[in-house]
Chain A
Amino acid sequence: MARKLAALAAALSAGTLLLTGCANPSTGSAKDDPTKPVTLKFWHGWSEDSEVKAIDASIARFEKLHPNIKVKATGNVTDATVNQALRAGGGDAPDVVSSFTTNNVGQYCSSGMWVDLDPFMKKTGLDKAKVFPKTLLDYTSYQGAQCALPLLADAYGMYYNKDAFAQAGIKRPPRTMSELRRDAVKLTKRTKSGGYERVGFMPNFRLYQNSPDRFLAQWGPSYFDKDGKARLAKGKAAKEFYATTGELVRSQGGYGPLETFRTSFGDEMSSQNAFLTGKLAMHMDGEWRGLFMKGAKFNWGTAPLPVPDDRPETYGRGYLTGTVVGIAHSSTHQNAAWELVKFLTANTDQVVAFANAIHNVPSTKAALTSPKLDSDPTFRAFLDIAQNRYSTALPPSINGGQYVVSLQDFSYGVEAGKVHDLDAGLRKLDDEIDADNLQAQN
């Protein structure tokens, strides 16, 4: 009996050891000499030919400055792939990683998946407060851990069809939400069968970049209080936002017909984009859209998105986000990796050249004021949005972008008319976000 018990105990111990052993992914180090020959693996998300060409040119400039460091770049990599590769570890995992969203930075920092860059900045004398704007530093750190740095920023504004505006007798883009609704109605054209030929402004949350957090930025919401508890139900921003988007939807024919029209749109990044084909007269998008507008058969312009009627002084604001870059925890070449990160994020000439090439907002103070920056006025509008003092970014969270996902889900219900008590719904949403964040804590 004793022998059987001992065997059982041994088997259970072995099982537990095996389980905990599997639970420890490989760890890297910052003991490497960045002047020694090394090949770095760099994963990024760019996939368009012009963008890949631009990042490859950036890497070539880096390799010229650092002949001992070769960079093997892999493009079109999603956050999900990065997440899984760094958790699985192994020899093929990347050294330097980038993400197109700031949403997950909180998770990358708190989980230790991307290493803290402050020691590297200290070692090489980079004063981050002098180099990067504060908003961008905020969205690349979490609770004091600067595990990422901004690699160009994105600002959101409005693209509008100047020809459609002229036909409708509208002189300038709307600046307040009531002007937006009035213009949207004027610009909406229905077909005889009750469908749409063109929609003035479609606020539906599943349209391309219309994630609710982006338009909500015009109300300057507070997502969390000082204790980190969700507080969307407590402020008035969310309620006013849903009231405005609801009015916009109703005034242009209702959610169902608009959704049916939306399903006829082509891919966002193709020539069948609904704004490019004239199905939308006004459209919220990021500064990069300008690159895709080359073949437009109409005159177009850019402007900041309208603001609530009672806060006209905030006109010019917009939602900010951007590409972020960091070093994988499993990299064994972290000092060499830092040289690449530092070059891509803090070298003014490099940042300006890359921003011009892919039509993104530069992410350093020096680059933002550089005379070499693209002078196209449709692009300049976004530089102004990026520098507007009322512009905001999403706060980082331990749970990454999970609270944004929860907000999206809730918003889909609101726009479909399924949330009958908005206050109660927002309170429930706050509880859900708090429960998710608690669950993510150790």
Chain B
Amino acid sequence: MATLTNAPALRRKARRERLRTLGFLSPWLVGFTVFFGYPLIATVYFSFMHYNQIKAPTFVGLRNWRYVLEQMPLFGPAMWNTLWLVVVMVALRVVFGLGIGLLATKVKSGVGFFRTAFYLPYLAPPVAATVAFVFLLNPGTGPVNDILGSIGIHAPNWFNDPAWAKPSLVLLSLWGIGDLMVIFMAALLDVPKEQYEAADLDGAGAFHKFRYVTWPSITPIVMFAVVTGVVQTMQYYTQALVAGKLASGVSIGPGSVIQPGYPDHSTLTVPQLVYSLGFQNFNTGAACVLSLVLFAIAMAVTTLLMRKRAGLLSADD
């Protein structure tokens, strides 16, 4: 009977609780709605519309989807390049970053210099770093090919060769590996020393210590590096655009348009194509379709990796 009497008061309390919860959540909810929910709904909406950003949009059904997926010749190269970069660049960055991190924790003397030397390039702005790389690797005037030539190595055309343009971008990203090096160093220094001592007592060699002690401890950090690397590389834009534009040597005057992807679309990524469609051709519908395709792939890959990560982690992690 007493419960029934207190029911309105309990309901009021529950409502207050809900409101308080919503109040605490509201900054995130507002941000999520304005910066994610609304743009996502708008992107879906415009993917079914013809809209040149001047006249009012008109409904065109699946025409934009058919255009992007069936008729647009650059869709294939852009998707291939993006996925190639995701697989190769992310894998090499993780391996290289981990390797440098391991070395940095093992070096006995000059450790400060070693860490600084590898971290400093990361501080270079992406555009400046790319300009420097294109200059160094210029097949006609760059010093790298001169040096390689002087020791009898026939150097490639780097950013000017479709077969070498993407590997050149990977080299550029490896040069700026400082961020991953620091993350991996922190993880490696966090591995309990007593486990290494136990492994030593068991007669484990360097490989076995890495395999059975280091690796299980740093797995969550490796997965973090892979997931963030995949998401970042899916959005890869600036370096590829700047490198292609500079290496092509094509004059960019006030009347001309930067055509991304030099040479032979080998550095064209999906984000570049989205920009080109949306803000050079003002083909908003097609740009939205491509954005949604990229979003779906990024979501799928990330979900897969997160599930994998969950499987790798123990309850203690």
Contact = CB atoms under 8 A, between A and B. Distances in A.
A76 B253 CA distance: 9
B67 interface: yes
Contact of B42 (A19, A46, A84, A432): A19
Given A79-B254, A416-B264, A206 B248 contact: yes
A399 B50 CA distance: 13
Given A80-B280, A261-B140, A264-B140, A87 B73 contact: no
A269 B286 contact: no
Contact of A80 (B57, B64, B279): B279
A274 to B, nearest CB: 10
Interface in B38-96: 38, 41-42, 45-46, 50-58, 63-64, 67, 71-73
A206 B255 contact: no
B315 interface: no
B140 A435 contact: no
Interface string A254-270: 00100111111101110
A395 interface: no
B236 interface: no
Given A262-B249, A263-B140, A263-B160, A399 B254 contact: no
Nearest to B72: A435
A439 B67 contact: yes
B41 A15 contact: yes
A176 interface: no
Interface stretch (A122-130, A224-232, A337-345, A405-413): A405-413
Q: Select the residue from B46, B247, B256, B264 with max chain A CB neighbours within 10 A.
A: B256
Interface in A398-432: 399-402, 405, 408-409, 412-413, 416, 418, 428, 431-432
A23 B283 contact: no
Contacts of A409: 259, 265
Contacts of A167: none
Contact of A399 (B57, B253, B281): B281
Nearest to B41: A15
Given A262-B249, A416-B264, A101 B256 contact: yes
A79 B249 contact: no
Contacts of B141: 263-264
B249 A329 contact: no
Interface in A260-306: 260-265, 267-269
Contacts of A209: 251
Contacts of B283: 439-440
B41 A24 contact: no
Interface in A18-54: 18-20, 22-25, 45-47
Interface in B216-251: 247-251
B52 A100 contact: no
Contacts of B259: 405, 408-409
Q: Select the residue from B56, B157, B248, B257 with max chain A CB neighbours within 10 A.
A: B257
A45 B257 contact: no
Given A87-B54, A440-B283, A100 B253 contact: yes
Given A111-B54, A432-B73, A260 B257 contact: no
- Contact count band on B: 35 or more
A25 B286 contact: no
A435 B259 CA distance: 19
A442 B55 contact: yes
Given A87-B282, A413-B264, A416-B264, A435 B54 contact: no
Interface string A70-99: 000000111110011011000000000001
Contacts of A103: 255
A312 interface: no
Contacts of B286: 439
Contacts of B139: 260, 263
Given A83-B282, A261-B140, A263-B141, A19 B45 contact: yes
B138 interface: yes
Contact of A25 (B54, B67, B279): B54
Contacts of B50: 441-442
A81 to B, nearest CB: 9
B253 A23 contact: no
Contact of B56 (A20, A83, A413): A20
Contact of A206 (B58, B249, B256, B282): B249
A68 interface: no
Interface in A296-328: 323
Given A23-B51, A25-B54, A112-B54, A45 B249 contact: no
A113 interface: yes
Contacts of B160: 259-260, 263
A263 B249 contact: yes
Interface string B268-302: 00000000000111110010000000000000000
B35 to A, nearest CB: 15
B264 A79 contact: no
Nearest to A46: B254
A79 B253 CA distance: 9
Interface in A167-216: 206, 208-209
A100 B255 contact: yes
Contacts of B255: 45, 78-79, 99-101, 103, 323
Contacts of B138: 263-264
Given A24-B56, A409-B265, 7 more contacts: A78-B256, A87-B53, A100-B253, A111-B282, A263-B249, A439-B67, A440-B281
21 contacts: A22-B42, A76-B254, A79-B254, A83-B280, A84-B279, A101-B255, A111-B54, A260-B160, A261-B140, A263-B139, A263-B141, A263-B157, A268-B251, A323-B255, A400-B281, A412-B264, A416-B263, A416-B264, A428-B73, A435-B67, A442-B50
Closest CB pairs A-B (n = 4): A100-B255, A45-B254, A264-B140, A101-B255
Interface of B: 38, 41-42, 45-46, 50-58, 63-64, 67, 71-73, 138-141, 157, 160, 247-251, 253-257, 259, 263-265, 279-283, 286
